[in-house]
Amino acid sequence: MKFFTAVGKFFKDLFAPTNFKCLNCGRDVFDDTGFCPECAKLLPHNNGKTCPRCGVGIDGEETFCGHCAFDKVYFDKAYSAFSYEGIIKKAIVKMKFHNLATFATPLAYHLVELSNKHNLHFDVVTFAPMSKKSKRTRRYNQAQLLANAFCDRLGISQPMDALVKVKETSPQEKLNKQERKQNLVGAYKINADVKGKVVLVIDDVKTTGSTLNECAKVLKNAGATTVLCLTVASRKEKIPFELEDN
């Protein structure tokens, strides 16, 4: 009986795969993208003009964004699948703050697509860490869940706990540019041997890039040869006169 049940399930999944719910509208979705065909049309793909270093969308005539042009950048390259707006912002906020950790699996699909698109090669995968206090409050680290799902989809070893957050910091989105930099100084410590390795760091959102940059700094100081970064979304470059105040 179990055999026939298993066979029946196989053919059911083959011809009518298990459905998921659209991360935006809740309709049934029968693929791995996380969005129904109608909502997929609303996705803010980050495929316009972007900074060649950090991958953030740029609307002006400059080649590099204001952060990469004037600040010390430790990561070698960063990529984002989407702009942090619209239905993607809504999905990420739900994942982070509304106990919808399951959103990480379909969102990681887009990280895999991004990695394949740019033909990324790396030795180990890690993620932006959270402090113990923050993780207890939220119950999970969304960046770690994204990294886990990313590795699962690629069929590679699970992400390494290469970094630990040893200092409680203020939310980055509430700080201006200079405060963001100071907020993260000394926040991360190395937790694994990365000497001579190409490290891929995964996070959910890149705003100014301060978090990823500080992670990359610690990894480089520990001997990593190259640090690449992948995020589901990044906030578009603000106009120049806003950079110093926001």
Query: For position 79, which CATH number holds?
Result: 3.40.50.2020
**38 and 123 housed in the same domain:** no
Q: In which residue are the tokens 């989105």 written?
A: 173
Note the pLDDT of residue 48: 87
**2 and 107 housed in the same domain:** no
| Side-chain-side CA neighbours of residue 240 (13 Å) | 6
**86 and 177 housed in the same domain:** yes
Mean pLDDT calculated for residue range 185-201: 95
Domain range for 162: 45-242
**172 and 235 housed in the same domain:** yes
Mean pLDDT calculated for residue range 25-51: 95
The pLDDT tens digits for 99-113 are: 999 999 999 999 999
Note the pLDDT of residue 100: 95
Token duo for residue 201: 């760091």
Global pTM reads 0.86
Q: Cα separation of 233 and 134, whole Å?
A: 21
Which of 52-61, 166-175, 198-207 is predicted with the least confidence, judged by mean pLDDT? Answer: 166-175
Token duo for residue 190: 């190395």
**26 and 137 housed in the same domain:** no
Q: With cut-offs at 50, 70 and 90, classify the pLDDT of residue 20.
A: confident
**5 and 124 housed in the same domain:** no
Note the pLDDT of residue 175: 64
**5 and 102 housed in the same domain:** no
Note the pLDDT of residue 6: 44
**218 and 160 housed in the same domain:** yes
**184 and 62 housed in the same domain:** yes
Answer whether residue 71 shows pLDDT above 70: yes
**75 and 184 housed in the same domain:** yes
**Mean pLDDT taken over the chain:** 87
Mean pLDDT calculated for residue range 25-34: 94
Mean pLDDT calculated for residue range 56-75: 89
10 Å CB burial of residue 16 (0-12, 13-18, 19+) is exposed
Q: Cα separation of 99 and 140, whole Å?
A: 9
Q: In which residue are the tokens 């402090």 written?
A: 131
The pLDDT tens digits for 110-147 are: 999 999 999 999 999 999 999 988 888 899 999 999 99
**56 and 177 housed in the same domain:** yes
User: How distant is the alpha carbon of residue 178 from its chain centre?
Assistant: 23
Answer whether residue 92 shows pLDDT above 70: yes
Note the pLDDT of residue 237: 73
Q: Cα separation of 117 and 110, whole Å?
A: 10
Answer whether residue 201 shows pLDDT above 70: yes
Note the pLDDT of residue 177: 64
Note the pLDDT of residue 56: 92
Domain count, the chain: 2
Token duo for residue 142: 């969304």
